[in-house]
Amino acid sequence: MGPAFIRWLNEFSDFQRRRGAGRVPDPTRELKVLADKVDSLALEGLDSRASAACLVELERAALCIERRDYSATWTIAWNCHPSIALIGVARELFHCNRELLLGNVLLIRDANPSDAAPYFRRAVTASGPATPLIAGNAAINLGICQSLLDSPQEAILSYQVALQRYELAERPDKVAVALHSIGNAHRLLDEVHEAAHFIQEAINLFVQEKDDMGIWQAADDLSRTFLTISAQQPAERDRWIDLASKMCDMATAVGTEIWQAIQHDEGRLADLSDQFANHATTRCELAVLQENPIGFL
């Protein structure tokens, strides 16, 4: 692989970084521009062309999963095989992306964490200096699988790997996701003070990054964590309930803005239905504890 492929790969990696950060207005069009350059790489060598062709196919699969077309994602990724052996960064990118995509389909479409987990584990194992963001995403999803399989301790280890990879990728928005995930895993272990610490750290970063979705979810989780602590520490019950109320109010304010932005998007509403229900439950529990009927509204 020569300089032409390296230039193309740099463009492709920049596209992936910008798309992952939501800074690509028309990813299909930009990907086509990259795809149109693939055949010309054959002049430099068949290995360059084969590597670029595989990476483009996997990116098409990634765009399909964003459109919730899981069958197309699986078909493209499963059938994507290089015509010749890949080496170096191209091999790393190919294997990490492919394993992550296949695992995502099994986790999201099939709700099958047992089958999905090995794919995420292989994605993390295949990662290297060129793929910290992909490895972080795979480690987060591996942690989700482990949590669903009642292994929160293992999940914490996976989330910590994700945290390290996101720090290498210099993605504070993703670092916040990892911190939030670690906090929720501690909640599963009933380690509520540790949970509160990590979730608060996540909220601080979500606020810094202006990530309304992250603020909404983490603030609601922290509110519920404070409610749990209030039940465990009756002598300081009022203080913890007051903290829970403040976090709940934050979640409500941000959740209202999100609702207004997506109320006409049925797909997004369906995706967030569980979060809306969780937050409504939090408000109701607070209203009961505060003996405040207005809180039900």
- The tens digit of pLDDT for each residue in 91-147 reads 898 999 999 999 999 999 999 999 999 999 999 999 998 889 999 999 999 999 999
User: What is the number of alpha carbons within 13 Å of residue 79 lying toward its C-beta?
Assistant: 9
Q: How many Å apart are CA 265 and CA 283, to the nearest integer?
A: 25
Please work out, in degrees rounded to the nearest 5, the angle formed at the alpha carbon of residue 223 by the alpha carbons of 222 and 227: 115
- Please give the pLDDT value at position 294: 57
Mean pLDDT along residues 235-250: 95
Mean pLDDT along residues 62-69: 90
- CB distance 158 to 146 below 8 Å: yes
Structure tokens at 29: 């069009």
Structure tokens at 245: 């109320």
The amino acid present at 251, given as its one-letter code, is: A
Mean pLDDT along residues 55-69: 92
- Please give the pLDDT value at position 292: 66
pLDDT tens by residue, 179-228: 999 999 999 999 999 999 999 999 999 999 999 999 999 999 999 999 99
User: Which strand (E) or helix (H) includes residue 201?
Assistant: helix 192-208
- Please give the pLDDT value at position 1: 63
Q: How many Å apart are CA 112 and CA 119, to the nearest integer?
A: 12
- Choice between 58 and 88, residue whose per-residue pLDDT is larger: 58
Q: Judge if pTM exceeds 0.85.
A: yes
239: confidence class by pLDDT, cuts 50, 70, 90 = very high
- Helical segments of 209-236, H only: 212-232
Q: How many Å apart are CA 102 and CA 122, to the nearest integer?
A: 11
- Please give the pLDDT value at position 296: 45
Q: How many Å apart are CA 100 and CA 135, to the nearest integer?
A: 8
